[in-house]
A and B are shown apart, each in its own frame.
Chain A
Amino acid sequence: MSDAEPLAVQVRLPLDRFELAVDFATTHRVTGIFGTSGSGKTTLLETVAGLRRGARGSVRFGGETWLDTDARMRVPPERRGIGYVPQDSLLFPHLDVAGNLKAGRGRAVAGGHDFDAAVQNVVRVLDLAPLLARSVRTLSGGERQRVALGRALCSGPRLLLLDEPMASLDAALRRRVLPFLGRVQAEFALPILLVSHDPVEVQALCDDLIVLRDGRVAARGEPRAVLRRPDVFPMAEHEGYQNLLPAVVVETRAETSRVRLGDGTRGPALTVPRSALPVGGRLMVGIPADEVMLALEPPAGISARNAVPARVESVAAAGAFHLVTARIAPGAPPLVAEVTADALVDLGIGEGTDLYLLLKTSAITLYEDAAADPQPASAASEDGAAPAASAG
């Protein structure tokens, strides 16, 4: 998706170990900044927000200049019209959830927004109604991040800045919060700059991905294609890379579900862990690259439930392993498997080889929004630690 208000960033800022020096412009809806911790991501986001001093260069958004050190110009953060969500949520402890959501009321009203309608909409999208009267001290990690998102959205921002919105959450909680980020992306026509070290998050949300390494742009492009690059993949793998493929539920059984990859009509079907969605529900399946086995023949007598025919698109060395990129369905993105050089030689795998991808059901992770379409159900508690969340 394109044609959001343009954001142009050209800054230099000396940090402890290196100099942050980035120059990019984007009109994409969701632009991701991907990198390991300490690569300068958060500093970059704070510079765009106006919270970090000392940067030289310029930051422009829409028709406005927020920073131009040559012209000695620096717009303070309160006049940039941004929504900022830090990784540790930083909810105001002296206000309850409703009070936090209303913390940016003044600006929203001054900007001509119907504040009450905006709050109602945010509460609906982020499923915050059960939390409104709660003290922020009693919220779980995932709930806190949803409230922090809501607080930023209610303030009527023109640009949303997300700093590792799921970094402080464990894996199970991330799976539950990710759909809410997806809803924000889908329901608010806001450009988003997302900083993340989570390969799943950036694949699920971003239209454009900038890889930051030691303060410099190391790669940029369509997120899946960028993460598959041999110079980027080892970093993504280190951060928990998963192939993230869209799929549609076609059958639900006692312990597993069947999903069809792609738009649900043509792609191959997979047996996956049981989905909470009804038949027809859309979700994402996550498949770690190191959990994919390759076979030249359709295997017999194995426990892996999925043997998916695929054609190799490319083979490339990446760190200690080789990456085999294979396409399994015309509509779906290709899938990456990590194999050793020996296996490549023994099996004679190269570009154009037809083979089978063997996938254990238990190695597959589902990313699904149980409360979203096609049948908006009353949302379940987002995590077991706070059962009261769904009681309201």
Chain B
Amino acid sequence: MSHAAWQALWSSVAWAGLAMLLVMAPATLAAYVLARREFVGKRAVATLISLPLVLPPTAVGYLLLRLFAVDGLLGRDALGVDLDVILTWKAVVIACAVMATPLVVRTARVSFEGVDPRYEDIARTLGHGRAATFVRFTLPLAARGLAAALILGFTRALGEFGATIILAGNIPGRTQTLATAIFSAQQAGRDREADVLLLVALAAGFAAVFATETLSHRQADAATARR
């Protein structure tokens, strides 16, 4: 297996991790608001957040490309500075973050919905304000679901292909990821390399889904034991 392939694997892990750092906090807050609050346009917001899940990833990639283009909404002309996103590692992180967001928000929302809001009421009567209640009671009570959201989001980011290849390209040693490396190896007929990368992808995917299954079972057990 080539040096470039190894580099693609480790870079993918780092970029997916960075994407999750970017996504987790805002996605968790959004999930909490969607789980607890009623407001005008809630369904529209939820739909918008979920959109990357149903759009072709290449469409999302193209949309991001337009956004970050020189004359785009987040481009040099509009911002006054060049963020230098396109065809760089930053593009990989952004593409991964956007594509992972719906999974993280949806999974986190379900886990918040599984927390009886009356626990939060009790915390309030014990003298905790809204923010303290969220941090000290809601988050720990939803912790397993949030961990599952993190794992699912991370693996979704690790496997991102369509949006990445449009926004970041597939430059070995610079923007090549696990997913795009498999594509390159297969296209170039380097079957041995593609096989190894496939096994790596299989192992990572299996471990992730297995972990979330375990977490959700524990949460279900905990929920039934509570009453």
Complex CA gap A49/B130 in Å reads 15
Which residues 78-135 of A sit at the B interface, judged by CB distance below 8 A?
Answer: 78, 80-84, 86, 88, 90, 92-94, 103-104, 106-108, 110
Cβ contact within 8 Å between B226 and A93: yes
- For the residues of B in contact with A, the DSSP-based class is helix
Interface residue total, chain B, C-beta cutoff 8 A: 23
| Residue of B124, B137, B222, B226 with most partner-chain A CB within 10 A | B124
Cβ contact within 8 Å between A92 and B137: yes
Cβ contact within 8 Å between A103 and B123: yes
Cβ contact within 8 Å between A104 and B127: yes
Beyond A86-B118, A93-B222, whether A76 also contacts B129 by CB under 8 A is yes
Tell me, rounded to whole Å, the shortest Cβ–Cβ distance linking B224 to chain A: 10
Complex CA gap A107/B126 in Å reads 7
Chain B residues, Cβ within 8 Å of A83: 125
Cβ contact within 8 Å between A51 and B121: yes
Q: Does A155 contact B (CB under 8 A)?
A: yes
Counting chain A residues whose Cβ lies within 8 A of the other chain, the interface size class is 20 to 34
Cβ contact within 8 Å between A78 and B225: no
Partner of A155, one of B127, B140, B222, B226: B127
Cβ contact within 8 Å between B124 and A78: yes
Beyond A78-B129, A137-B226, whether A93 also contacts B141 by CB under 8 A is yes
Q: Does B122 contact A (CB under 8 A)?
A: yes
Chain B residues, Cβ within 8 Å of A103: 123, 126
Q: Does B183 contact A (CB under 8 A)?
A: no
Residues in chain B within 8 A of chain A (CB atoms)? 116, 118-119, 121-130, 132-133, 137, 140-141, 143, 222, 225-227
- 9 A-B pairs, CB-CB below 8 angstroms? A76-B130, A78-B126, A78-B129, A78-B133, A90-B118, A92-B123, A93-B225, A94-B137, A107-B126
Residues in chain A within 8 A of chain B (CB atoms)? 49-51, 76-78, 80-84, 86, 88, 90, 92-94, 103-104, 106-108, 110, 137, 151-152, 155, 161
5 pairs of A and B residues whose beta carbons are closest in the complex: A107-B127, A104-B126, A84-B125, A77-B124, A137-B225
